Structure 1
Amino acid sequence: MAAHREAMAFVATCLLVLIATASGKRTVTTKINYKCDIPECQTGYNGSFANLVYVRAQEESDVLHYAISTIHIPTILVIHTRGDANSQLSVNWEKLMNEEEFNNDSISVSDSSKVVYSYALVFTKLHEYNDTSDAASLSSYPVWNSTKRVVRDFNEFEWMEASAVKGEENSFVFNSTMWTNSTVNMLGQDAPRNYTPSLSFTFRVYADQSRETRLPHLLYNENGTQFDFTLDNFTPAFSMSRFALELAVISDSHKEEMSIKETKSIDDEYTPGIFRVTNLVTRPKDPVDGAFIQWKPVSYQDSPRSRSVATSVKSYELGDTKNVTSLLKTSLAYAYFSDAMFTDSMNAITTNISFGLSKDGSYTKTNYTSWTASVGYGNPPMDKVSLLVIGVISAGLGIPVIIIIFGGLFVCIRKQRNKNYRQLQDVSSSYPQNGEST
């Protein structure tokens, strides 16, 4: 008996090890303003801080290097190296802050031959449009119509010093207090300067895989990061303002058509009523060695998040980067890829993500919008029906089936017993009773 218990314990241990190995876990370290030795990191430049956060996520000899920054323009740069457990990111701060040397190896890794794949997500523009028709569609308001639409380049924003999120490991936030040129152009020279954070990006890098506790409860794994984009009391330009975020995706792969697709899920346990997940994949033919951006088509009009303040998110067709070349040349992606990012050796696209649904009151109803997305390496996480849901379904379907089966068996047994009883009565009645002659 003891030997049997020991064998069972050994099998259980092996299964746990296999599960842990399959799920993967990385050692994650976060360093804000990594090895920065210039004044701009402590005091800022032109009213804006030089923020660069280096996150290193290691699994044996496989390392993901995240360089996330608001220098010039918000950017997530990810470099995947394999075969060198000691691989490190190198940042030349002097070159990074010098526009003439910005693309001259400002960002690199210790051994470039170990790089497997690299990609970048660049936040290029913030679109605002006056949705007087309540269409909740950016396409309904052409960019040339300045009376209905305002476009702000992200290199016009001023950024506060990056800070860690209290109580959350490997999480940090970039806050913007205002925009510069756009404020003057739209509201005039005497417009009050808003020093309260009104636009922010919050990032979370994970060591393993699970599901985020916050709505919309996106899945995450050890190969990615999630970010929240939030507008909170951002001064609108119109009475019926809605916003859209323009993104550029740079992929270190030969020209290959990126794709953006919606997948359906039967599981609404975590986000009731949301049965769709959107995936932008950089290498559709080989997603294992590519990158993805994933989100659910929902944003929130107030904090804390809840179903009652949820509204829609709309994605648009993928386009080229011709109209944002000058912005991309100020991004951290350019500091690493240099001019190669504009050649056939790489792939680059832009797309827009707009927030809002017809009859939701627009942004001006609450002066608040928040949206969450994941950025990662490899296949995007897929929603699966949880054990709880399987248990509920099994109970809902299984109990009636069990009742029917046992009920049928009971009826059959009862009938058989009654039949046997009648047969015994018939047999007993055929024998002579006491006092009767044979």
Structure 2
Amino acid sequence: MAAAARGVLLLSLLVLLLNATFCSGDTYRRQLSLELNPGLNSSVSPLPPGINLVHIRSLGDGDTLHFLLCNQGPPTLLIVHTNSTSSSVQVDWPAFLSGNNSGSLRVEPENSVLHSNALVLVRLWEYDDLNDTADPQTVPPSSFLPPYELSRFQWGPLNSSTLDPQGPGGPEARLCGGDGSPAFSQGELCLQLSTFGSGGRAAGWPGLLHSANSSQLGFWLQGVRPRADRARFLLELQGLGRPHGPGRVEVRRSIDDEYSPSIFTVRTKHRCDRGRTVAHHPVPELVGGASYSTTQYLSWTVLAGVGAPPADSFSPLVICIMAVGLGTPLLLLLLGGVFVCVRKHRLAEGQAYRPIN
């Protein structure tokens, strides 16, 4: 049985080697830094209440990603990718605060910009799901209530209490607000921007797979008084950019492992940017789960970045379980068969006739 024990030990070492190999993942790393209100001087200080601009700089080997989150008007995430490690964000604050968005924010040098995209939070929709289908396409138009225009929300400030330069994966920024109506008297809509210096998965649920070129936007609605008995909410987002050719949506089925409670459908929006006129593409709404009226809480999670989105695969835990579950019985069966054969061979030799001298 010592041979069997050695075999199990070798299998364990093999599993550890597989785990180390697959856990290494994406080794590309970026250096992240956070800046609040870049370039702001005393001539325009203090800012109007609720007006802030967060800049997260993600420095790579030969390029830079600029993530900018602004709460002026509807909350907007701007992603700018440059081929320079010295590119910087320049803001014309008087023009920016006056609402003149044309040229008030730019990245220099301008010829280093490879492409840029923006994700704008436009509206929060509410409808009465009488049949409990969680499918807004099957709901009659009369079930939809007047939407909440996020451009009219009063957003809280971005400061030291809502910014975390040393988040779990990288700098994070949180923004919460409401429209002052009775529905939001004890509730709020919040969003959190998370950036990452390397590939992996976010620590919190749903643990989406990300790369160093990704950012994650988490939205949650909490404590808002519903206006319908079986209220459900939709969050309307708009993507802005300069695409080279039309965008496309790919539908994939995620693998069932410890990060996914079941096999589910994932929609991925692709866009190729090269510098044409600005175009607007509709983004499918994100549908919630259980009825909001029963939970008073609802959340969405979105990844936004550049390059190819990270692809899901079998996790190291699943691979290790498969290796141990399938490999151990086979190895024990093989070693047991060898042991039985050797044992029978020795017994046969012991019972054979010995020559008489």
The TM-score with structure 1 as length reference comes to 0.68
Q: Kindly tell me: are residues 399 and 207 of structure 1, through their superposed partners in 2, closer, same or farther at Cα, counting changes over 3 Å?
A: same
Where 1:351 maps in the other structure, the secondary structure is: coil
AA paired with 1:114?
S
Aligned to 2:330: 401
Question: Retained in 2: the 8 A contact 1:201–1:230?
Answer: yes
Alignment equivalent of 2:235, drawn from 235, 245, 254: 245
Q: Which runs of 5+ in 2 are unaligned?
A: 1-19
CA deviation map 1:178-198 (0-9, x unaligned): 225xx4xxxxxxx5872x551
How far is the alpha carbon of 1:200 from its aligned partner? 0.6
Question: Retained in 2: the 8 A contact 1:41–1:51?
Answer: no
Question: Retained in 2: the 8 A contact 1:173–1:201?
Answer: yes
Q: Kindly tell me: are residues 193 and 204 of structure 1, through their superposed partners in 2, closer, same or farther at Cα, counting changes over 3 Å?
A: closer
Spell out the pairing of 1:53-202 with structure 2 (5 A cutoff).
Answer: 53-82=54-83, 84-99=84-99, 101-103=100-102, 105-143=103-141, 145=142, 148-163=144-159, 164-165=162-163, 168=167, 169-176=170-177, 178-179=178-179, 183=181, 191=182, 194=185, 198-202=188-192
Q: Which runs of 5+ in 1 are unaligned?
A: 1-15, 184-190, 284-288, 291-336, 433-438
Spell out the pairing of 1:5-404 with structure 2 (5 A cutoff).
Answer: 23-37=27-41, 42-44=47-49, 49-82=50-83, 84-99=84-99, 101-103=100-102, 105-143=103-141, 145=142, 148-163=144-159, 164-165=162-163, 168=167, 169-176=170-177, 178-179=178-179, 183=181, 191=182, 194=185, 198-266=188-256, 268-274=257-263, 276-283=265-272, 340-342=277-279, 348-356=281-289, 360=290, 362-404=291-333
Work out the percentage of aligned pairs sharing the same amino acid.
Answer: 26
How far is the alpha carbon of 1:69 from its aligned partner? 1.3
How far is the alpha carbon of 1:64 from its aligned partner? 0.4
How far is the alpha carbon of 1:407 from its aligned partner? 1.2
How far is the alpha carbon of 1:224 from its aligned partner? 1.3
- Coordinate RMSD, CA, aligned: 2.9
Q: Kindly tell me: are residues 257 and 340 of structure 1, through their superposed partners in 2, closer, same or farther at Cα, counting changes over 3 Å?
A: closer
Where 2:278 maps in the other structure, the secondary structure is: helix
Question: Retained in 1: the 8 A contact 2:187–2:225?
Answer: no
CA deviation map 1:321-379 (0-9, x unaligned): xxxxxxxxxxxxxxxx9x9424xxxx5333211212xxx4x101121111222111111
CA distance in 1, matches of 2:231, 2:117: 33
Where 2:349 maps in the other structure, the secondary structure is: helix
Q: Kindly tell me: are residues 94 and 411 of structure 1, through their superposed partners in 2, closer, same or farther at Cα, counting changes over 3 Å?
A: same
CA distance in 2, matches of 1:110, 1:148: 44
How far is the alpha carbon of 1:153 from its aligned partner? 2.2
CA distance in 1, matches of 2:245, 2:149: 27
Where 1:402 maps in the other structure, the secondary structure is: helix
How far is the alpha carbon of 1:262 from its aligned partner? 2.2
CA deviation map 1:108-151 (0-9, x unaligned): 111111111211111111110011221211112344x2x54332
Q: Kindly tell me: are residues 192 and 68 of structure 1, through their superposed partners in 2, closer, same or farther at Cα, counting changes over 3 Å?
A: closer
Question: Retained in 2: the 8 A contact 1:261–1:280?
Answer: no
CA distance in 2, matches of 1:93, 1:197: 32
Question: Retained in 1: the 8 A contact 2:183–2:226?
Answer: no
Where 1:149 maps in the other structure, the secondary structure is: coil
- Work out which of the two has the higher radius of gyration on C-alpha atoms and give 1 or 2: 1
Question: Retained in 1: the 8 A contact 2:238–2:283?
Answer: yes
CA deviation map 1:39-78 (0-9, x unaligned): 686441xxxx112211111113310011111211111111
CA distance in 2, matches of 1:217, 1:208: 15
AA paired with 1:102?
N
CA deviation map 1:201-237 (0-9, x unaligned): 0111111122111111112221111121010111221
CA distance in 1, matches of 2:232, 2:199: 34
CA distance in 2, matches of 1:114, 1:400: 58
Q: Kindly tell me: are residues 52 and 24 of structure 1, through their superposed partners in 2, closer, same or farther at Cα, counting changes over 3 Å?
A: same
CA distance in 1, matches of 2:140, 2:96: 35
Q: Kindly tell me: are residues 350 and 394 of structure 1, through their superposed partners in 2, closer, same or farther at Cα, counting changes over 3 Å?
A: closer
Question: Retained in 1: the 8 A contact 2:243–2:278?
Answer: no
CA deviation map 1:81-128 (0-9, x unaligned): 00x2211011222222334x332x122111111111211111111110
Q: Kindly tell me: are residues 90 and 348 of structure 1, through their superposed partners in 2, closer, same or farther at Cα, counting changes over 3 Å?
A: farther
AA paired with 2:158?
A
Paired residue total = 330
CA distance in 2, matches of 1:54, 1:142: 42
